[in-house]
Amino acid sequence: GQNIDQPTEMTATEGAIVQINCTYQTSGFNGLFWYQQHAGEAPTFLSYNVLDGLEEKGRFSSFLSRSKGYSYLLLKELQMKDSASYLCAVMDSNYQLIWGAGTKLIIKP
């Protein structure tokens, strides 16, 4: 079966760095997405990785290792507004997104 695993909840301190991991087992691979979802709001796109390596976009970076079935989202200089759920999703061989259950990130002052 297809499976995406990510931690249920993480806590970090304002100004710090946090890494949210995602491991996957899917039938085929056409890229990995990270989305941010604030409570009561729509998920919004953060990043897309299809090749191994690190993609940096401001305070957020996303890493992919296809051989390990592993990705992480790195958030630097954390701000209170970063408190949200972070969703990992993999596009399979049928170009359908397979979603993880999300990681709820709590930022403390």
Partner 1 sequence: ETGVTQTPRHLVMGMTNKKSLKCEQHLGHNAMYWYKQSAKKPLELMFVYNFKEQTENNSVPSRFSPECPNSSHLFLHLHTLQPEDSALYLCASSQDLGGGSYEQYFGPGTRLTVT
List interacting residues with partner 1 (CB under 8 A).
Answer: 4, 8, 30-31, 33, 41-45, 48, 50, 87, 89, 91, 95-102
Pick 55 or 70: Cβ nearer partner 1: 55
Which amino acid appears at position 101 of this protein? Answer: A
Give, in degrees to the nearest 5, the angle at Cα 54 between 7 and 50. 85
CA distance 46 to 7: 18
Pick 54 or 101: Cβ nearer partner 1: 101
Give, in degrees to the nearest 5, the angle at Cα 100 between 78 and 10. 35
Q: Closest separation between CB of residue 2 and partner 1, Å? A: 10
Pick 44 or 79: Cβ nearer partner 1: 44
